[in-house]
C-alpha cells in the first residue's frame, strides 16, 4: 500500500505526490510575459539578440507573417522541463499591436505519470523599426562594385540578362546568412554593366563565378573611403571583369588556325578547328591560350545549299546570296551529305571551310 500524497491525501505515485500534485509542482514549460517584438516594417525581419532574423516572406499574408514573427521571438522564451513535449499556439485576441496567445503544452512531467495538457498565457507586444539590412540599403550602402566589361565590344543584352540573373540568384541565396547580401544599384550603359553590392564577400563570390563562366580577365582596385569610429581604415573594392572579344559561335584564331567557338564554361573554351575538322578544349593555363585572337562574328558565316552529290566526287554547293556554284571535297563535310540541305561555311584566306553541327542551325526552317 503506497503512502498518501503529502499535499492532498490521494494515492502518491512519485516523490510522495499524486499525479495531479506532481504535475502542478513540475510544469512542462515556463514562458515569460509580456514579450516585446521588434520587427522591420520593410522586410518583416525580427530583432533577436545579436542581430535580425530574416524571413522569406514569399506569398505570406500579414497574418502569416505575424505568426512567423511570433514563432521566432517565442521559441527562445519558452523553457521546457520535460522531453517529448508538444507545443501548439492559439491566438485568443489581437489588438492593434498586442497579441494575446495561449501556448498549449502536452506531455509527461514524469515517465510514471500519464500525459497531461497545460495552458500558458503570453502577451506579445509589437513594435516596428528598420532592420540593419533595410537601413543600409536605403542609405545606399555598398562595399564593392562589380564592373562587367568586354574586350573591344559591347556586352550583349543576352549576356547582361544572364549576368543579372546570376547576381540575383546568388544574392537571394545569401539573404538569410549575410546582412549585407543586397544589390544597392545596377548601372547599365554602353560600356557595360555595374553591380553595387552590399557585401564584399558576396561580390567576390559572384566575381569568381563570372571569371570562370566567361573566362574573363580580373582586376581589383581598392579605394580608401574613410575611417570607422575606432580609426580603422575603410576601403571600397572595385572588381573589374573583362570578357573576351569573342563569344560562343564566333570565329577565332588559335595558333594561327581558324576555329569556331562552340562553348564556354568553367574556365574552358570548346572550339572546332576548321582546318583539322576537330574539336578541342583550351583554357587560360594552356600556352596556346595567348595565341588566341579574334577573327569574325558568327554573322560572317555564309549559307550554302547542297546542289548535287555523287558518291566519290566533289560536292556541288550553291551560295544562298549570289547563287554562285562551287565545289568542295566530300572530306570537308563533318556530317552526312544530303542534297538540298542547308549548310554553312566560313571563308578564311580564300579557302572555304564548312562549319560543324550544321543540323543544329536553323532546324526550324527545314
Ligand atoms: Zn496530491
Ligand atoms: Zn528590413
Q: For 64-119, how does the pLDDT look when each residue is reduced to its tens digit (9 = 90+)?
A: 999 999 999 999 999 999 999 999 999 999 888 999 999 999 999 999 999 999 99
Number of H helices, E strands in the chain: 5, 23
For residue range 325-358, list pLDDT tens digits in order.
Answer: 988 888 888 778 888 889 899 999 989 999 986 4
| Mean pLDDT, residues 124-139 taken together | 94
* Residue from 136, 142, 126 nearest 41 by CA: 126
How far is the C-alpha of 80 from the C-alpha of 316, rounded, in Å?
Answer: 86
Rounded distance from Cα 130 to ligand 2 centre (Å): 6
List 239's β-bridge partners, or say none: 146, 220
Residue 126's pLDDT is 96
Question: Relative to the alpha carbon of 13, which ligand is closest?
Answer: 1
For residue range 112-125, list pLDDT tens digits in order.
Answer: 999 999 999 999 99
Q: What is the pTM of this model?
A: 0.74
Alpha-carbon distances of 82 from 28, 71, 76, 308, rounded to whole Å: 6, 20, 16, 87
Domain 19-131 bears CATH identifier 2.60.40: yes
Domain 301-365 bears CATH identifier 1.20.950: no
Residue 78's pLDDT is 94
φ and ψ at 238, to 5 degrees?
Answer: -115, 125
For residue range 261-309, list pLDDT tens digits in order.
Answer: 999 988 899 999 999 999 999 998 999 999 999 999 999 999 999 998 8
For residue range 143-189, list pLDDT tens digits in order.
Answer: 999 999 999 999 999 999 999 999 999 999 998 889 999 999 999 99
Residue 18 has pLDDT above 60, yes or no: yes
Q: Residue 208 is placed in which grid cell?
A: 569568381
Q: How many residues does the chain have?
A: 366
Let me know if the fold of 19-131 is the same as that of 301-365.
Answer: no
For residue range 232-242, list pLDDT tens digits in order.
Answer: 888 899 999 99
Q: Residue 358 is placed in which grid cell?
A: 550544321
φ and ψ at 168, to 5 degrees?
Answer: -65, -50
Residue 357's pLDDT is 65
* Residue from 298, 360, 307, 317 nearest 335 by CA: 360
Burial of 106 (0-12, 13-18, 19+ CB in 10 A): middle
Residue 132 has pLDDT above 50, yes or no: yes
Rounded distance from Cα 171 to ligand 2 centre (Å): 15
How far is the C-alpha of 238 from the C-alpha of 229, rounded, in Å?
Answer: 23
How far is the C-alpha of 352 from the C-alpha of 366, rounded, in Å?
Answer: 23
C-alpha Rg value of the chain to the nearest Å: 35
How far is the C-alpha of 142 from the C-alpha of 181, rounded, in Å?
Answer: 10
Residue 110's pLDDT is 93
Rounded distance from Cα 37 to ligand 2 centre (Å): 14
Q: List strands edge to edge, sheet with 342-348.
A: 325-328, 315-319, 302-308, 342-348, 351-354
Rounded distance from Cα 110 to ligand 1 centre (Å): 15
Residue 319's pLDDT is 92
**Parallel/antiparallel/unpaired status of strands 293-296 and 251-254:** antiparallel
The helix (run of H) or strand (run of E) holding residue 178 is none
Residue 58 has pLDDT above 90, yes or no: no
Residue 226 has pLDDT above 50, yes or no: yes
Rounded distance from Cα 194 to ligand 1 centre (Å): 73
* Residue from 180, 166, 272, 153 nearest 211 by CA: 166
Question: Relative to the alpha carbon of 132, which ligand is closest?
Answer: 2
* Residue from 68, 158, 353 nearest 343 by CA: 353
Alpha-carbon distances of 21 from 111, 239, 249, 312, rounded to whole Å: 15, 69, 81, 103
> Domain spans of the chain?
19-131, 140-243, 251-298, 301-365
| pLDDT-based confidence at residue 1 (cuts at 50, 70, 90) | low
Residue 54 has pLDDT above 60, yes or no: yes
Rounded distance from Cα 23 to ligand 2 centre (Å): 43
Output the CA torsion sign for 323, 329, 333, 339.
positive
The residue among 344 and 360 whose pLDDT is bigger is 344
Residue 71's pLDDT is 93
Amino acid at each position: 500500500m503506497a503512502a498518501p500524497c503529502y499535499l492532498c491525501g490521494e494515492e502518491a505515485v512519485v516523490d510522495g505526490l499524486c499525479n495531479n500534485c506532481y504535475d502542478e509542482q513540475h510544469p512542462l514549460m515556463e514562458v515569460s510575459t509580456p514579450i516585446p517584438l521588434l520587427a522591420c516594417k520593410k522586410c518583416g525581419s525580427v530583432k533577436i539578440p545579436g542581430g535580425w532574423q530574416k524571413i522569406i516572406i514569399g506569398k505570406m499574408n500579414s497574418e502569416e507573417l505575424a505568426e512567423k514573427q511570433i514563432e521566432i521571438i517565442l521559441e527562445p522564451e519558452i523553457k521546457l522541463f520535460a522531453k517529448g513535449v508538444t507545443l501548439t499556439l492559439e491566438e485568443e485576441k489581437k489588438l492593434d499591436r498586442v497579441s494575446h496567445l495561449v501556448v498549449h503544452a502536452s506531455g509527461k512531467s514524469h515517465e510514471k505519470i500519464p500525459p497531461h495538457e497545460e495552458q500558458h498565457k503570453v502577451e506579445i507586444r509589437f513594435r516596428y523599426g528598420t532592420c540593419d539590412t533595410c537601413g543600409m540599403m536605403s542609405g545606399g550602402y555598398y562595399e564593392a562594385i562589380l564592373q562587367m566589361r568586354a574586350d573591344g565590344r559591347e556586352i550583349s543584352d543576352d549576356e547582361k540578362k544572364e549576368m543579372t540573373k546570376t547576381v540575383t540568384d546568388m544574392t537571394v541565396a545569401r539573404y538569410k546568412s549575410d546582412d549585407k547580401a543586397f544589390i544597392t544599384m545596377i548601372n547599365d550603359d554602353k560600356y557595360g554593366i555595374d553591380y553595387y553590392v552590399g557585401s564584399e564577400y558576396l561580390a567576390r563570390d559572384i566575381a569568381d563565378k563570372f571569371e570562370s563562366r566567361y573566362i574573363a580577365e580580373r582586376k581589383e582596385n581598392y579605394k580608401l573611403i574613410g575611417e570607422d569610429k575606432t580609426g580603422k581604415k575603410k576601403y571600397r573594392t572595385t572588381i573589374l571583369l573583362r570578357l573576351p572579344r569573342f563569344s560562343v559561335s564566333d570565329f577565332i584564331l588559335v595558333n594561327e588556325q581558324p576555329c569556331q567557338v562552340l562553348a564556354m564554361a568553367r574556365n574552358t573554351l570548346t572550339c572546332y578547328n576548321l582546318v583539322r575538322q576537330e574539336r578541342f578544349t583550351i583554357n587560360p593555363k594552356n600556352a596556346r591560350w595567348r595565341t588566341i585572337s579574334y577573327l569574325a562574328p558568327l554573322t560572317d558565316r555564309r549559307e550554302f545549299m547542297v546542289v548535287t552529290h555523287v558518291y566519290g566526287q566533289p560536292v556541288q554547293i550553291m551560295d544562298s546570296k549570289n547563287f554562285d556554284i562551287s565545289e568542295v571535297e566530300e572530306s570537308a563535310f563533318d556530317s552526312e551529305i544530303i542534297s538540298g540541305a542547308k549548310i554553312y561555311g566560313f571563308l578564311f584566306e580564300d579557302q572555304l571551310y564548312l562549319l560543324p553541327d550544321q543540323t543544329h542551325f536553323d532546324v526550324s526552317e527545314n
